[in-house]
Amino acid sequence: MALQKTSRYEPPYATASMKILFLNTYDDPADGGGVELTVWTLIRALREKGHECVLLSTQQGRSLDLHEREGIRIWRAGIRNIYWPTKEKLASPLSKLTWHAVDGYSRSMQSHLRRVLEVEKPDVVSVHSLPGWSASSWATIKSMSIPFVQVLHDQYAICARSSMFRNTHNCKTQCTDCRLLRLPHRKASNAPSAVIGVSRFILERHVQYGYFHDVPIKAVINNTRDPRALSIDAQGSEHTTIRFGFIGRLDPSKGVELLLEQFSRFQRKDAELWIAGDGDQKYVEFLKSRVKDDRVKFLGRVKQRDFFPEIDTVVVPSLWNDTFPGVVFEALAFGKPVIGSRRGGIPEMIRDGENGFLFDPEKDGELLDLLNQVANNPSDQTAMGAAARASSLPFIDTEAWLDKYLAVYAQLGNAL
C-alpha cells in the first residue's frame, strides 16, 4: 500500500492562523486514556504555533454546554444513548448490545455536531474517537464542505468493541455482530479528506478490510508525548533486585494474567514485578487473589515519572492487537528496555534484541525465557537502556510530529 509521505517543511498553514475543531468521545484523559493524551498533546502544540483549537466531546445528560480548560473552548454534548460509556461504567451484555446498536450509525448526535460546526466555523476538523458520535459524523462534516481528517486510534469502524478481541482471542475476521453493526461504515469511510493511522498496523488493517479506499490522503503519523510532561530525566532510587514492571489498564486483553503466570515460574528470588494501573474493580481483585508471591506488588494508579525510573525492564504483554500503546515509547524515553508482544503496533517500536525483545504470547514459555535472559545478562542493561532512549527520540519530538500534521492539513483543500 502506497502511503502519502509527510515531512518537515514550511507549509502555508505553518504561518497562517488556522482554527481546528477536534471531535472525540471524551475531553478528559481521566475519562478516556491514551487517545485523549494524544489529542491534548496536539492541541497544545498547535496552540504554541498560533493556531486556534476547539474540542467537542460527549458528556452525561442531554444538553450542549460550553466549558474551558487551559484556554481551550470545550463543547460537551449530552450523549443520546442509553448511558454514557466511561471506564467505570458497568453494563450488562444486553445493555452493551443495545448501546452499540444505537451507536452503529446514529444520526441522533448530529444536531449537536452541526450546531458546533455552524458556531465555530473551523478550517479543519480533526476526528479521533467516534463512540457516541458514530460514523455518521463523517457525512455531517462532509455535507458542510469542511475538510476533515480521521485519525485512527482503534478499530471502531470495523468492530463494535473497537478492538477485534473477543473471548481472550483476536478476531481473524469480522464476527456476525460486527458485520451487522458496521454495514454502512465501509462505504461511509470514503468521506474524509484524509486518514491518518497512528501506526502502520492500524491503517493497513482498515485498508485491508476495504475502508477509506477512495480517501486521497493516507498517512502514518505515530503518536508522541511532550518530554516536558513526561519528566524523562527523573531519577529512581537504588535497588539491588531485578525489577520488572507493567503499567497500564488492568484488563484481560492487556495480558496481565499471562505476565503473572510466567513470573510465577521465574525462579529468581532477587526479582520483583511491579504492577501499576487500575481497571474494573472485580477484575483487579481477581488478579490480586491469584497472586501468592511476595515478589509481586500492585501499586494502583501511579504517574509515569514515579514509575519508570524505579523499573529496570518494562513488560507490555498485550494479547490484543494493541494499536500503538504509549507505554512502550514512554518506557523507551526513560531509557528502559521493553519486552513486548508481537501484537498490533508494538513491533513498530521495539527493535528485537536492541532496545528490547519481542515474544509471541501464544507460545508458552517465550516470555519466561526473556525474563531469564534479561536477569542473566545484567551487563546488557546499560547498552539496551541507551538504545531505548535513542530509539524514543521520534516519539518525543513534538515539533517534527506537528509538522507532519500540518503537512496533511496543508493538502486538505485539494482533497475536497
pLDDT digits (tens, 9 = 90+) for 326-337: 999 999 999 999
Those residues with Cβ within 8 angstroms of residue 307's Cβ, 6 or more apart along the chain or in another chain: 245, 247, 274, 276, 299
Pure H helices in 14-67:
34-48
Place of cell 500534521: 405
Q: Has residue 250 got a pLDDT over 60?
A: yes
What's the pLDDT score for residue 112?
97
Determine the average pLDDT of the residues in 178-202. Answer: 95
Q: Has residue 9 got a pLDDT over 90?
A: no
* Cβ-contact 115, 105 below 8 angstroms: no
Determine the average pLDDT of the residues in 375-381. Answer: 93
Determine the average pLDDT of the residues in 48-54. Answer: 96
Picking from 280, 222, 225, the residue whose alpha carbon sits closest to that of residue 250 is 280
Q: Which residue has the higher pLDDT, 175 or 350?
A: 350
What's the pLDDT score for residue 12?
47
How does DSSP classify residue 237? P
Picking from 143, 190, 163, 333, the residue whose alpha carbon sits closest to that of residue 249 is 163
With bands split at pLDDT 50, 70 and 90, how would you rate the model's confidence at 11? very low
What's the pLDDT score for residue 3?
44
Q: What pLDDT, in 10s, does the model give residues 117-149?
A: 999 999 999 999 999 999 999 999 999 999 999
Q: What pLDDT, in 10s, does the model give residues 84-110?
A: 988 656 688 889 889 999 998 989 999
pLDDT above 70 as % of the chain:
94
What's the pLDDT score for residue 113?
98
What's the pLDDT score for residue 7?
38
Q: Has residue 1 got a pLDDT over 70?
A: no
Domains and their CATH numbers in the chain: 12-224+397-415 (3.40.50.2000), 228-395 (3.40.50.2000)
> By mean pLDDT, which of 63-77, 91-105, 237-251, 388-402 is the weakest?
91-105
Determine the average pLDDT of the residues in 383-407. Answer: 97
Those residues with Cβ within 8 angstroms of residue 257's Cβ, 6 or more apart along the chain or in another chain: 287, 290
Q: Has residue 14 got a pLDDT over 50?
A: no
> What is the average pLDDT value for the chain, to the nearest integer?
92
What's the pLDDT score for residue 342?
98
Q: Which residue has the higher pLDDT, 160 or 369?
A: 369
What's the pLDDT score for residue 10?
41
* Cβ-contact 416, 193 below 8 angstroms: yes
Give the three-class secondary structure for 113: helix
Q: Which residues of 61-97 are buried (b: 16+ CB within 10 A; e: fewer)?
A: eeebeeeeeeebbbbbbbbbbeebbeeeeeeeeeebe
What's the pLDDT score for residue 89?
63
Determine the average pLDDT of the residues in 43-59. Answer: 97
What's the pLDDT score for residue 31?
76
Q: What pLDDT, in 10s, does the model give residues 142-185?
A: 999 999 999 999 999 999 989 999 988 999 899 888 999 999 99
Note if the pTM is more than 0.85: yes
Q: Has residue 8 got a pLDDT over 70?
A: no
